[in-house]
Amino acid sequence: MHLHDDKIKELEETANKIRESLIDELVEAGSGHSAGPLGMADIFTLLYFHTLKHDPKNPDWEDRDRLVLSNGHICPIQYAAMAHAGYFPVEELKTLRKFGTRLQGHPHRTSLPGIETTSGPLGSGLSQAVGMAIASRMDGKKNFIYCLMSDGEHDAGQTWEAVMLAGREKLWNLIGIIDRNNIQIDGMTEDIMPLEPFRAKYGAFGWHVIDANGHDFMNMHMAIEQAQVVQEKPTVIIAHTIPGKGVAYMERDYLWHGKPPTKPEEIKQALHDLRTLGGRIQSEHQ
């Protein structure tokens, strides 16, 4: 599907609204992750508002694409995107992590329609996605399975077992998207457990590999379009992102990986930065 300039502007504006909703829900919860969700807002917006074959009014539609969130700790941004896409009222975002909520701290498949898997333990999502892709192929379906992963979760051996199996099975209907933000909870990925040469590792296991700018809607759209036409192998998009994107004091700071803004000045500054970004988006497209 063509991505024209007006649509890009719409996506940019939507992504910024989703970031604002993210801050609101994290502040209300008083806990949760900030850096990764902010960095993935553009990708979730592209998926839910342009790429995915899905129906918010019929989330169990049999022929839908599947979105598997392996790094479940960034689920607040998935919730925000889903709410703005019409899966549930935006006001419900304020229930994040509260007792009895459908919006749990890690996604729970049976709690919220539209959530495909229960996640939490890092490294298990790709295995689940591989199983879905094999089942979909056995059923003769033409839908895609998108698996969103963190770079840090590639420290887990199970991820590489799934990488090998997907390559062996030549799963053309599996598209991995890695949030390559270079941070994890204890620091920089390359200091804790070096991942490079990341691209070469996936390639060695029989994957088609694409590098993309995770904040450039056209670049990500073209990467996904390329992935959709690759035959006889799975594709992984290494999406380079800025953790904390849009909130200046959080950007590229691993210390914001696992906490929300709580101090009044932090909250005020975060919302100010995002509203300023929204105004800049408006002026750039006039």
- In angstroms, the Cα distances linking 186 to 176, 191, 192 are 24, 9, 8
Q: Which residues pair with 66 in a beta bridge?
A: 145
In the chain, the largest separation of any two C-alpha atoms, in whole Å, equals: 54
Query: What is the C-alpha end-to-end distance of the chain, expressed in Å?
Result: 24
Q: Which residues pair with 162 in a beta bridge?
A: none
Asked if 217 and 12 touch (Cβ cutoff 8 Å), the reply is yes
- What does the pLDDT read at residue 286? 63
Look at residue 175 and give its three-state secondary structure. Answer: strand
Q: Which H or E element spans position 165?
A: helix 157-169
Asked if 149 and 188 touch (Cβ cutoff 8 Å), the reply is no
- Which superfamily does 5-284 belong to? Thiamin diphosphate (ThDP)-binding fold, Pyr/PP domains (3.40.50.970)
Bond prior to 197 in cis (omega within 30° of 0): yes
- What does the pLDDT read at residue 278? 80
**Distance (Å, whole) CA 49 – CA 51:** 7
Asked if 125 and 119 touch (Cβ cutoff 8 Å), the reply is yes
- For each of the chain's 286 residues, which pLDDT tens digit applies? 678 889 999 999 999 999 999 999 999 999 999 999 999 999 999 999 999 999 999 999 999 999 999 999 999 999 999 999 999 999 999 999 999 999 999 999 999 999 999 987 889 999 999 999 999 999 999 999 999 999 999 999 999 999 999 999 999 999 999 999 999 999 999 999 999 999 999 999 999 999 999 999 999 999 999 999 999 999 999 999 999 999 999 999 999 999 999 999 999 999 999 999 887 887 776 6
Statement: the pTM of the whole predicted model exceeds 0.85: yes
Q: Which of 165, 166, 164, 153 is nearest to 124 (CA)?
A: 153
- What does the pLDDT read at residue 128? 97
- What does the pLDDT read at residue 26? 97
- What does the pLDDT read at residue 232? 94
- What does the pLDDT read at residue 101? 97
Asked if 282 and 13 touch (Cβ cutoff 8 Å), the reply is yes
Q: Which of 72, 67, 73 is nearest to 45 (CA)?
A: 67
